Structure 1
Amino acid sequence: MQESGHDANPQMKAAFITGHGGNEVVSIAMRPKPVRQPGQVLIRLQAATLNQVDLYMRNSGAGITHQLPQIMGLDGAGTVEEVDEHERAFVPGQSVVLHPAVGCGRCEFCQRGEVVLCTGIQYLGEHRDGTLAQWVSVPAQNVFPMPAGLSFAEAAALGVNHLTAWRMLFTKAQLKPWETVLIFGIGGGVSLAALQLAKLAGAQVLGTSRDDAKLERARLLGADHLINSSTQDVVKEVMAFTGGRGVDVVIENVGAAVWSSAMKSLVRGGRLVTCGATSGDQPSADLRRIFIRQLQIFGSTLGNFDEFRDLLSLTERTGLRPVIDSEFPLDQTHAALSRLESGQQFGKVAIRVGEA
């Protein structure tokens, strides 16, 4: 295998989609190694984790502008391989974690620091080659020092799930320590991240799942009240726990299947933050409830660079560690995708890209 930057046609191993369908369109083979451009950092990746969008890109990728073949993977962590000579923030060999959103740097949203609202945004693994590869080259602003004490897989997990949960809880919902939060789908990456972060903030957390084993594991992570949504009435359980008041904040990424319960679980003036619609994106709006109870509804996706910096600082300070469900070598990406697709995972499904 050619790895040197001086080779005429350097190659690297990667997992990439060649079409759309099932695992048969996912190849693990050689692709051209990226050539670092000025202002970029070349990263030797050690680990990445899978996200629901990896399945979406494999299955259809509809609505996301991309070219085939497309290297998969949004988040990642590894070591710096090459940087500009004048780069002061990073040195070769340094352990780093990636922010997956590459902005244009020029639109009004980038100018005010909201890269996630960029009109020309490119996500790793969606609009451009991603992190299920031995190397990736990204703008220096997308590279952050890796918190001490984490494995590469744990660090990689921060870049999507925990950053998404951070923006939902603290930027959108403005969660306070004395408040209550209802989190749907405990077991999924964003939901578990929200549980961890909300408990660190001092809030009370209620969680739902259809799996008793996942509920018990969530209890061990500090959840205050857990609801089996297949055998219990979520709204009744919420009201019983809160003395008929309702929760201050709902965090959900399920969509239509839970929307009614989510709305009815909120206290008057409460806030609902959504970042997904895996069960459908056209629920009943329930407008009368929204305006009479003065509910607030926020949409949210990922987070900006400042939010990521704050998240990494908190991780370093508190010893927060993302929950890893399982780890697979890059050659077993098919098995990893199947694990995520099964819905049986508790935490992140990780891919070991490097040997470290």
Structure 2
Amino acid sequence: MKAAVLNQASYQLEVAEMETPAPAKGEVLVKLKTASINHHELWSMREQSIVSQSPVIMGSDGAGEITEVGPGVASTWIGKAVMINPSLNWGSNPRVQGPDYQILGFPRNGTFAEYISIPVEYVYEKPSHLDFDEASAIPLAGLTAYRALFIRGELETGSNVLVTGVGGGAALFALQFAIAAGANAYVTSGSEEKIQMAVSLGAKAGVNYKEPGWDKKLLALVGGFDIIIDSAAGTGFAALTEIANPGARIVLFGRTAGKITQLNPSTIFWKQLSIHGSSMGNDEEFRAMIDFFGVYKLHPVVDSLFGLEDINKAFERMELGQQLGKMIITL
């Protein structure tokens, strides 16, 4: 099979011929139709954090058809169109992942390949209203957004919600989920085009965080936020505490802007704010997220499609922040 294998000298992906895996006990073999890329893989390559004596096939998101089952798996799975949950071995505590937790793509080989063998408990039937491109766009970013918004953010109908840095996958999913659940959703972005796209999806309004006084502009629009979903951190995070309503929840799942600085402790304790870290999610949350897509017939925003041989170009586009939605790899 063809796969995009990580070159651990250059930390670029190179297409190579690899042996097609055979499903072990309790596993299924999925012929992948599409995969999608995430900042998770981009950060791993940028920081050169993957070291292995064996070839590494990265990739967390994928969708395809089951072609073979291992011992102990019902043959009725063969031929089913499925998507893959990349959140592996969460553990027994629903609040936090356990010591054996891993994200698909390392150390277990991932989805940047024509085939993947995966335990059957991590495959879910594809909602019928989604095509394979859309299905592969969802897993990692969709799960991250679902947990951040509903579990950590405790979303309620009518809440004022701010999603920062809209344009990336998880932020767009958080926006779509909030709108579907009846919240009043607002966004920030460094791109007017991305703000207008968010408004077309149902956001009430947005502001450009590159403009001076962006936080005051938001306050003038809304008056304050009950839930803030942030994936950037950095120097702008302190302003989020200032525009949060008393008792608000601020949920952080990324660090694209670097370390948080200049927080005012009195703002946090006097407003009784809750600042929650969040990352991925457990099996029950993945199932709930897929069901949410089915109930509301949501469709992911797809930015562009790349062939496997052009996967590095897709990551270059992501690193420049040019994408409007998820980038799909066709296999």
Q: Normalised by the shorter chain, which TM-score bucket?
A: over 0.9
- Deviations, residues 80-137 of structure 1 (Å, cap 9, x unaligned): 121246534952110000011221xxxxx623456x6021112211322110001111
Contact 1:238 1:247 in 2 (8 A): no
Q: Distance in 1 between matches of 2:74 and 2:7?
A: 38
- Residues 223-232 or 73-82, more deviating: 223-232
Q: Does 1:30 align with 2:17?
A: yes
Q: Secondary structure at the match of 1:256?
A: coil
Q: Tell me which residue corresponds to 2:324.
A: 346
Residues 168-202 of structure 1 show CA distances to partners (whole Å, capped at 9, x for unaligned) of 01011110011001111011111111110000000
What are the within-5 Å matches in structure 2 for residues 309-328 of structure 1? 309-328=287-306
- The yes-or-no answer on 1:48 pairing with 2:35 is yes
| SS of equivalent to 1:322 | coil
Q: 1:283: how far off?
A: 2.7
In the TM superposition, 1:61-80 aligns within 5 A as 61-62=48-49, 66-80=52-66
Task: Tell me, in whole angstroms, the C-alpha distance in 2 between the residues paired with 1:278 and 1:66.
Answer: 26
1:293-331 C-alpha deviation (Å, 9 max, x unpaired): 110011111111111111111212221001000001112
* Pick aligned residue for 2:46 from 59, 77, 81: 59
Determine helix, strand or coil for the equivalent of 2:154.
Answer: coil
Q: CA RMSD in A?
A: 1.8
User: Aligned partner of 1:164: which letter?
Assistant: T
- Name the CA distance, whole Å, in 2 between partners of 1:20 and 1:322: 35
- The residue type equivalent to 1:302 in the other structure is M
* CA distance in structure 1 between the aligned counterparts of 2:6 and 2:218, rounded to whole angstroms: 43
Aligned residue for 1:169? 149
Equivalent in the alignment of 1:5: none
8 Å CA contact 1:73–1:131 kept in 2: the answer is yes
Give CA deviations for 1:149-186 in whole Å, capped at 9, x if unaligned.
Answer: 21212111210111111000101111001100111101
> Which residue does 2:241 correspond to in 1?
263
Whole-angstrom CA distance in 2 between matches of 1:301 and 1:112: 14
Equivalenced residue count is: 331
- CA–CA distance in structure 1, aligned partners of residues 52 and 151 of structure 2: 30
**CA displacement, residues 24-73 of structure 1 (integer Å, 9 cap, x when unaligned):** x32111122222110111111111110012212222343x6655521121
8 Å CA contact 2:69, 2:75 repeated in 1: no
Q: Any idea what SS the aligned residue of 1:321 has?
A: coil
The equivalent residue for 2:91 is 110
- SS of residue matched to 1:71: coil
Q: Which amino acid aligns with 1:57?
A: S
- 1:15 pairs with 2:1: no
Percent identical across equivalent pairs? Answer: 34
Identify which of 148, 159, 180 aligns with 2:139: 159
Instruction: Provide the rounded CA distance (Å) in 1 between the counterparts of 2:52 and 2:291.
Output: 33
Q: Does residue 149 of structure 1 match 2:129?
A: yes
Which piece of structure 1 moves more, 43-52 or 87-96? Answer: 87-96
Is residue 21–residue 58 contact of structure 1 (8 Å, CA) maintained in 2?
A: no
Instruction: Tell me the secondary structure at the aligned position of residue 186 of structure 1.
Output: coil
Paired with 1:20 and 1:350, the residues of 2 have a C-alpha distance of 25
Contiguous gaps of at least 5 residues in structure 2: none
Distance in 2 of aligned mates of 1:42 and 1:218: 37
Q: 2:205 corresponds to which letter in structure 1?
A: H
TM-score normalised by structure 2 residue count: 0.95
Change (3 A) 1:195 1:66: farther
CA contact (8 A) 2:8 2:51 kept: no
Tell me the TM-score normalised to structure 1 length. Answer: 0.88
Q: Does the aligned pair in 1 maintain the 2:306–2:328 contact within 8 Å?
A: yes
Which of 283, 286, 309 is the matching residue for 1:331? 309
Residue number in structure 1 paired with 2:83:
97
- Give, in whole Å, the separation in 1 of the partners of 2:312 and 2:145: 27
Q: Please state whether the residue corresponding to 1:82 is helix, strand or coil.
A: strand
Return the offset for 1:228: 1.1
Mapped to 2, the partners of 1:330 and 1:316 lie a distance apart of 29
Q: SS of the residue aligned with 2:111?
A: coil
Q: Give CA deviations for 1:215-240 in whole Å, capped at 9, x if unaligned.
A: 11111000101101112523212211
Q: Where does the alignment leave 5 or more consecutive residues of structure 1 unmatched?
A: 1-11, 104-108
Change (3 A) 1:234 1:66: farther
